[in-house]
Amino acid sequence: MCLAIPGRLESVEPADPFPTGTADFGGIRKQVCLVFVPEAAIGDYVLVHVGFAIGVIDEAEALRTLAVLRAMGDVVETELAGGVS
């Protein structure tokens, strides 16, 4: 449920009503809501849970987390495909 995965912020769109952006999760791109991370900038890695960024982490940390998640199999796909797990 509380899985959050890091994605690299590739674009930031103006608030309508909330600011959103496109994040790249190891090749899968998804729109994420940035309302809780006003400090996030393009190139940052945001920690994303159910479509909302809940924090910003640095690049070295983000790549490491994603790689370990990949090694753990289908967990990233589960998070991206939907479901709270």
Partner 1 sequence: MKYLDEYRDPALARRLLAELGAVATRPWRLMEVCGGQTHTLVRQGIDELLPAGIRMIHGPGCPVCVTPVAVIDRALELAATPDVVFTSFGDMLRVPGTSTSLLQVKAAGGDVRVVYSPADAVRIAAAEPRRRVVFLAVGFETTAPANAAAVLLAESLGLTNFSMLVSHVLVPPAITAILEDPECLVDGFLAAGHVCSVMGYTEYEPIAARYRVPLVVTGFEPLDLLEGILMAVHQLESGRHEVENQYARAVHRDGNQVAQEAIRRVFRVADKEWRGIGSIPDSGLVLADGYERFDAALWFPSGPRSPESASECIAGQILTGVKTPTDCPAYGTRCTPRHPLGAPMVSSEGTCAAFFSAGRTAAAPSPALNAATS
Q: Contact residues for partner 1 (CB under 8 A)?
A: 1-4, 17-18, 33, 35-38, 47, 49-52, 54-55, 57-58, 60-61, 63-65, 67-69, 71-73, 75, 78, 80-85
Residue 47, both tokens: 């920690």
Residue 12 vs 50, nearer CB to partner 1: 50
Phi and psi at residue 6, to the nearest 5°: -85, 135
* Cα 34 to Cα 11: distance, rounded to the nearest angstrom: 11
CB of 10 to partner 1, least distance (A): 18
Instruction: Provide the residue type at 72 as one letter.
Output: M
Residue 10 vs 70, nearer CB to partner 1: 70
